A and B are shown apart, each in its own frame.
Chain A
Amino acid sequence: MNAVHGRYLQIDLSSGTATARQLTEAVFARLLGGVGLASYLLYRFCPPGADPLEPENPLIFASSPFIGTGITTASKIAVVAKSPQTGMIGDSLSSSYLALALKRTGYDALVVTGQAPSWTVLAVDDGEIRLLPAGELLGLDPAATAHAIRAELGSGFRVAAIGVAGECGVRYASISNDGRLAGRTGSGAVMGSKRLKAIAVRGTQRLPVVADPRGVVRAARELAERSLGPGTAKYRELGTAANLAFFSRLGVLPTRNFQAGTFEAAEAISGERLFLEHRTDKHGCAACTIGCEHHYRTRDASEAVEVRLEYESLFALGSLCGISDPNAVLRAAALCDRYGMDAISTGSTIAWAMECVERGVRLPGSPDEWPRFGDAGSLVRAVQTIGERRGLGDLLAEGSRRAAEIVGQGSVEWAMHVKGLELPGYDPRKLKAMALGFAVSTRGACHNRSSAYEVDFSDQLDPHAEALAWASAAASSEDRAAVLDSLTVCKFLRHCFSDFFAEAAELFALVTGLPMTAVGLRLAGERINTVKKLFNLDQGWTRADDTLPPRLLSGEAGGLTAAELDRLIQAYYCVRGWDEQGRVPPGRLRELELAELLSQDGRMMYGYAG
């Protein structure tokens, strides 16, 4: 096949050695690349029961066949490890030149195992690795770290780095590169546990050729043109921040830790207001024609900060914490980037603490440092204490699930997570497809691995449709997301295809030379989601993990009930061909052509008694 190298580099930080290993064509034919490839490697390298913060947890960076082909937005790197938040698969994507650099090293992926004896920078220079001391970099934010490394090693290196949060073991620490983040599920904490401050990659090899160069150029040009059309208008004009006021109006804007779906001060922090009063400029990611990255600047008496802001940061640090001061939200978002931690989990864990305070639940530390709904200063202070794991922040750095288990006093009732991952900015009580998507998602509450909200925000389904219809729509949405994540194409392109699976299959065939159909690509998406599920089953997933926080299942005001969610989940298992307990029967594995691919590891249990 074309467009891949067919090998990856396994790097053991404990011994300081690297080993090149082969990847068969079947891996790419069935799992595409990107998140699919990285999930497969995680399944192979991470033993059942591994502690996410111990050396046995591999940290995987994977590219895809599309990287370097000129296909717009396809410069994303997949970052996968067992999540220290969920204990299940943790997968993230980040747009950057690092993806291009990795592919030019002559490898399709890096698998980093072990733990360095002391804080280290891993330099990957084509196929050679060096472990460099990182002591002087400790305490620096990711941008400063990258700057220092490139100053020493050369500007040809591209850098992925953690900030202080990753050094301190904040469970939702992220990995930053080129100002973009592999944000969710705590890959930065995994990197920190390996005493790995940064990875610097330089690739000088020729990119592998595509199967049909002229066809790829033509298709890439057409897609780039469509990327500037109405399918991406929102992202180019206002960015995702535009969601906030509209979501509040619909009653689906998580407010004060999901105690409400409408924020009375939504106008003050709306995307429209931010655009008029705070926006400075707009950027695009590596190899992207859309340019959706909107930057904003604080406008108050304090020292100005400028930050990229998305809806998810805006809701998590705004309405979820009852904050109506846009300057505080921007400042808190900038701090999250500087410390290197996921803004959704940061805001949600702080909101949990705010509700504890509101309810009179005693927290560690001085009451003076406890965060309170609507108190902008306390929000910013809480972010700082988490990033440095001091005072109350040491507890909050564990995330809402663990913090609630430690504090007790009934506070698990308002820890708003699924499988340990805090919910993004969609109140699922009024969004039936998204509720199901959150509940069954392999990485915990996630709008990106599901995107099922699109069903809710459309006329695709009658509100009274049968559970199977909702389940089919949610599964289809997951499969499309898995394909996008594995081809490492931006989800903002999804409305630029008139028939996504057919057109993306044609692109895949032009790039790789492997035959692919719309049905085959949809099947690949299902296969990728199944590999993730198999990993979770190996790590101890049970049926009880597929659920939502009790607050969201009260049925109040016509919202979802536990019985209704259960019916949706059962229908979803049925659509997937799983058993009633959500396990993947061996026959389904054979149908998906996964049995042989995975059997080389000799563990084919997947949740069934051996």
Chain B
Amino acid sequence: MSTGTTAVRVELFGSPQLLTGRRQVEVPGRTLREVAGALAHEFPALAGSVIDPATGWLTGGYIFVVDGRFTRDPSYPVGPGSTVLLVSAQAGGVS
């Protein structure tokens, strides 16, 4: 992680957790786009199915939850106190 940048704690669920082997990571970033880029950089396994290498942003199957708010807004601001979750965009199931 670069010095002088904000470290954000990101909790990973589902495939992102399996791909990284981590439930929780810390990456630099002031917006969700920067967080996504940092995740792809530090955990190359996420590039492709979770984060599109071409755009540096989430693929359609994933969404962030920041302090309880679901968002796919790349400009959404985050900081050291933010609670950021990376989860599947398809909630729920059938029965």
Q: Which residues of A contact B (CB under 8 A)?
A: 181, 183-184, 229-235, 237-238, 240, 242-243, 245-246, 249-250, 267, 271-272, 275-276, 310-312, 342, 344, 424, 426, 447-448, 451, 453-454, 457-459, 463, 490-492, 495
Contact code string B1-30 (vs A, CB < 8 Å = 1, else 0) = 000000000010111011000010000000
Contact status B95-A312, CB under 8 Å: yes
Contact status B18-A275, CB under 8 Å: yes
Chain B residues near A457: list those with CB within 8 A: 70, 91-92
Interface of A is mostly: helix
Chain B residues near A242: list those with CB within 8 A: 13-15, 88
Contact status B14-A246, CB under 8 Å: yes
Contact status A271-B95, CB under 8 Å: no
Q: Which residues of B contact A (CB under 8 A)?
A: 11, 13-15, 17-18, 23, 49, 59-63, 65, 68-73, 85, 87-95
CB-contact partner of A243 in B60, B70, B73, B92, under 8 A:
B92
Known: A230-B60, A458-B70, A459-B71. A245 touches B13 (CB 8 A): yes
Known: A233-B49, A234-B61, A275-B18. A491 touches B72 (CB 8 A): no
Chain A residues near B62: list those with CB within 8 A: 230
Known: A184-B95, A246-B13, A451-B92. A230 touches B85 (CB 8 A): no
Contact status A454-B91, CB under 8 Å: yes
Q: How many A-B residue pairs have CB under 8 A?
A: 101
CB-contact partner of B59 in A230, A232, A447, A463, under 8 A:
A230
CB distance from A160 to the nearest CB of B (A): 17
Chain A residues near B70: list those with CB within 8 A: 457-459
CB distance from A294 to the nearest CB of B (A): 11
Contact status B94-A492, CB under 8 Å: yes
Contact status B18-A311, CB under 8 Å: no
CB distance from B69 to the nearest CB of A (A): 7
Chain A residues near B65: list those with CB within 8 A: 250
A-B contacts, 30 of them at CB < 8 A, read A230-B59, A230-B60, A231-B90, A233-B15, A233-B49, A233-B61, A234-B15, A234-B88, A242-B14, A243-B91, A243-B92, A245-B13, A246-B13, A246-B85, A246-B88, A250-B65, A267-B23, A275-B18, A310-B94, A312-B93, A344-B95, A453-B91, A453-B92, A457-B91, A458-B63, A458-B70, A459-B70, A459-B72, A463-B69, A492-B90
Contact status B88-A231, CB under 8 Å: no
Chain B residues near A267: list those with CB within 8 A: 23
Compute how far the CA of A242 lies from the CA of B52 in the bound complex, rounded to whole angstroms.
22
Known: A234-B61, A238-B18. A311 touches B13 (CB 8 A): no
Chain B residues near A454: list those with CB within 8 A: 91-92
Scoring A229, A233, A240 by chain B CB atoms within 10 A of each residue's CB, the highest score goes to A233
Chain A residues near B18: list those with CB within 8 A: 237-238, 272, 275-276
CB-contact partner of A272 in B17, B49, B71, under 8 A:
B17
CB distance from B21 to the nearest CB of A (A): 10
Chain A residues near B72: list those with CB within 8 A: 459
**Nearest CB to that of A246 among chain B residues?**
B13
Chain A residues near B11: list those with CB within 8 A: 249
Chain B residues near A275: list those with CB within 8 A: 18
Known: A448-B95, A459-B69. A235 touches B90 (CB 8 A): yes
CB-contact partner of A234 in B14, B68, B94, under 8 A:
B14
Known: A272-B18, A310-B95. A231 touches B13 (CB 8 A): no
CB distance from B27 to the nearest CB of A (A): 18
Chain B residues near A272: list those with CB within 8 A: 13-14, 17-18
Compute how far the CA of A374 lies from the CA of B86 in the bound complex, rounded to whole angstroms.
30
Scoring B17, B49, B71 by chain A CB atoms within 10 A of each residue's CB, the highest score goes to B17
Chain A residues near B73: list those with CB within 8 A: 459
Chain A residues near B85: list those with CB within 8 A: 246, 249-250
Compute how far the CA of A243 lies from the CA of B94 in the bound complex, rounded to whole angstroms.
12
Compute how far the CA of A250 lies from the CA of B66 in the bound complex, rounded to whole angstroms.
11
**Nearest CB to that of B85 among chain A residues?**
A249
CB distance from B15 to the nearest CB of A (A): 5
CB distance from A194 to the nearest CB of B (A): 24
CB distance from B34 to the nearest CB of A (A): 19
CB distance from B22 to the nearest CB of A (A): 11
Chain A residues near B90: list those with CB within 8 A: 231-235, 492, 495
**Nearest CB to that of B14 among chain A residues?**
A242
Compute how far the CA of A457 lies from the CA of B71 in the bound complex, rounded to whole angstroms.
9
